[in-house]
Amino acid sequence: MRSDLGLPLGDLQGFAMGKIAVASRRSLLRIFVLALCALPMHGQTANTGAIAGTVSDPSGALVAGAALVVKSQATHEERDLTTDAGGSFSVPFLAPGHYDLTVRATRFEPFTFNDVQVRITEVSRLKIQLTISGAKEHIEVSAKPSLLQTENATLGRVIDRNTVQELPLVNRNFTQILGLTAGTNTDIVDATQLGAGSQEIRANGARSGDNNFMLNGVDANSYSSNMSEVTPFGGAGIAIPAPDTIQEFKVQNSLYDAQYGRGGGANVNVETRSGTADFHGSVYYFGRNEALDANNFFANATGVPRGEFRRSQPGGTLGGPMPLSKKRTFFFVSYQATRDVNAASLSSSVRSLSLPPIPQVRTPASLGAVFGGQTGVFGGVAVAPNGSNINPVALNLLNAQNPDGAFLIPSPQTSGSGVNYTAALPGHYNEDQFNANFDVNLRKADNLSVKFFFSNSNQDVPFFGATVPGFPALRSFGNRNLSISETHPFSSQTINQFRFGFSRNAGQGVAGGTLTDQDVGINSPSGTQEGLPQIEVLGAFELGNSSNDRGKTASNNFYLSDVMFLSRGKHDFRVGAEIFRNQFNQLTDNTAGVLITLSFPDFLLGLPAGPAGAVGNGTSLSSIYASGVVAGIPHVGQRASAGHFFILDDWKATRTLTLNLGVRVEVNGQQSEVGGRQSNFFPKFYVAPPVGGFTSPATSGFVLPGNFSGNAPEGFPRENSTLLNHPIQSHPEPRIGFAWQPFSSKGLVLRGGYGIYANRISFGGNGVPLTFNPPFTLSAVFTGGANAPRACSIPFQICRQPPRSQIS
């Protein structure tokens, strides 16, 4: 099941920040005052690293003006620079990989450092000691990767390509090893889970929604929930490139510098592979089946055979120089397919129930013979021995059949108490993903990179809301991620990196059940219920699709960033800004309703409260203990903009002490709905009722946004378009860190720091809930005595909201 949601990108008006295009003068003043006070990072970014170090003579004196050439082993790209007056050098914005560094200086022999490894967000520090010329030899040294990070206070770990590819990932999903970084934890991986199997990460006690994900240096978050995994109502998670596509990724779990923000949890930076000067490729296949799997305990007990479990993941990669490009343009492409048939997942494919002794013959007489004389939980009228008072709705449901001819409500598979029924139905998950990367050397050290990731997936979940077969959840998801970056050197000590990013995370959920309320005789208020309500018989079974099975979401996210690197003696500065424009469209169709009965006899009777007789069940409570319905405007479009600014510096204070000093300001614009279809409660508009009275109107205190263009119902004043009680706020976020080697030995590094980190709230956590307030959404739930008049045939209260034509 694939579907293009067709949800609009929405107007891009306000992309350049709208109300927050320019920070207030006061905020800017704070930035520069703090920057001048601090004046102290190396030029590494979310998807690049750096090489830094010093050049000295045999006596240890630093050599100024030494010429250095840094050459990529992958693309043969070169970058030239010289050491400064203090003999120091810094090479920023290097793609992850291995490099050779050659040093030449007057009166000294040439020196080459081979195989220097560069990792994203990290600095590889070298100490180069030249020899006096005359020996007529070229000295070459192979660099060994340092196990200690001596350049900054950031805590985290780089996971390289070999690790990602060689670890036995159950779903070949890199999020399943995010927890390898100290200070983080993830959920235990469920090897039988249907789907991509994405895991949430929690860093140092922060919530899983407090993280920031970046793919190829640009924003890759899912703004529906800030989560990495998909959500039931159609919310798509983040993009998950195949392990063979990933170059490396870094999890920064605390004390990251001022360039990184948006969340107070972990920063996850993923970089996909690039082409090289030589052609390289791979073809692979990963497979799994149920041949050696054990059967479920309850399936064995009820005579159900082992469920099918087969996963196939073929794919391939290809990279190299573009033809006729004189090895100035490089490409890398990859493809992976996933085909998963899974009847072993306890969360989506297997259900074990304790069913009442429902006979195979479902006539009133046969049912009465089994359940005659039994009453509901609260007593009252009993089921007649001949079944004459069994509710027609219950009888219709008991005789309804699935397309395979099996009863919708099954009979027990074994006799006796306890679990007597098990179903193991195969769910299906299919995904196709494609990655295309292009890197162009425009001029020496001037690079253009374009990287695009595409994935489509669909799955059917046999069990989600219902616990009996016949109500699958059908879902489809799509991810698009585009990253365009240009690195431009103004000089060897002043380099700029510009980025544009776009991501789209879209999904939809469709209820797979075909039975409707009219099919079984349930009368629902017109315009509110669609499909069969979710019906729960407490302790026995659940019917109907969950309201969360129906919905569509699409998040379109635009991202601009610019970072300037300046090397000035012992100070390596970075100054930059990020601009975000986010659009979130949601179509919610959770209007089927929910019914709850407390026992199977209550379900069979389905009578309202009242005296025993033709109508009542002989108690003060209905056989339908609770009923609920939601109705409202299904389609909303949330919009928000943000601007983040930072300045920071790595100050090599001494040979053994590096200070990381900076400040970040995040100006997060408030969320609004494009048509003003949301409301909020403002205490200043609330009118308290008299003692013993009721609030009138019931919506007293609720307000509509200023951009609402419909006909406002009576009693709803207008306020600002965001419906929040405070304006846009921004606060400086200082970041201070140090890395100190107290002894001459390289075996000990002390790191520490302090920082303020802010979370950017998702649309699902702020804007979307406002659309569920009156008058746009009506949520009516009645339980106990409030639901006393309800019966199986008319289970819902007649609750009306203003027609959509009046408020949309």
Please, which residues have CB within 8 angstroms of residue 193's CB and are 6 or more apart in sequence?
A: 170, 171, 345, 347, 348
Q: How far apart are CA 235 and CA 240, in angstroms?
A: 15
* pLDDT value for 27: 42
Are the CB atoms for 420 and 358 separated by under 8 Å? no
* pLDDT value for 614: 65
* pLDDT value for 147: 62
Count helices and strands in the chain by DSSP H and E runs: 9, 41
Are the CB atoms for 78 and 95 separated by under 8 Å? no
328: exposed, middle or buried (Cβ count in 10 Å: 0-12, 13-18, 19+) = middle
* pLDDT value for 762: 78
Rg of the chain's alpha carbons, rounded to an integer?
A: 32
* pLDDT value for 232: 57
C-alpha dihedral (451, 219, 268, 165), degrees to nearest 10: -20
Q: Helix 392-399 and helix 364-371: axis angle, to 10°?
A: 100
Cβ neighbour number for residue 386 with a 10 Å cutoff: 14
Q: How far apart are CA 162 and CA 246, in angstroms?
A: 10
Q: How far apart are CA 228 and CA 218, in angstroms?
A: 16
Please, which residues have CB within 8 angstroms of residue 133's CB and are 6 or more apart in sequence?
A: 107, 108, 109
Do β-strands 123-129 and 246-254 pair in parallel, antiparallel, or remain unpaired?
unpaired
* pLDDT value for 19: 36
Q: How far apart are CA 563 and CA 577, in angstroms?
A: 7
* pLDDT value for 33: 37
Q: Look up residue 367 and give its amino acid.
A: L
* pLDDT value for 245: 95
* pLDDT value for 529: 53
pTM: 0.84
The segments of the chain whose pLDDT lies below 70 read 1-44, 135-139, 142-147, 230-235, 524-530, 547-549, 589-591, 614, 631-633, 696, 724-729, 744-746, 765, 767, 797-808
Q: How far apart are CA 251 and CA 760, in angstroms?
A: 19
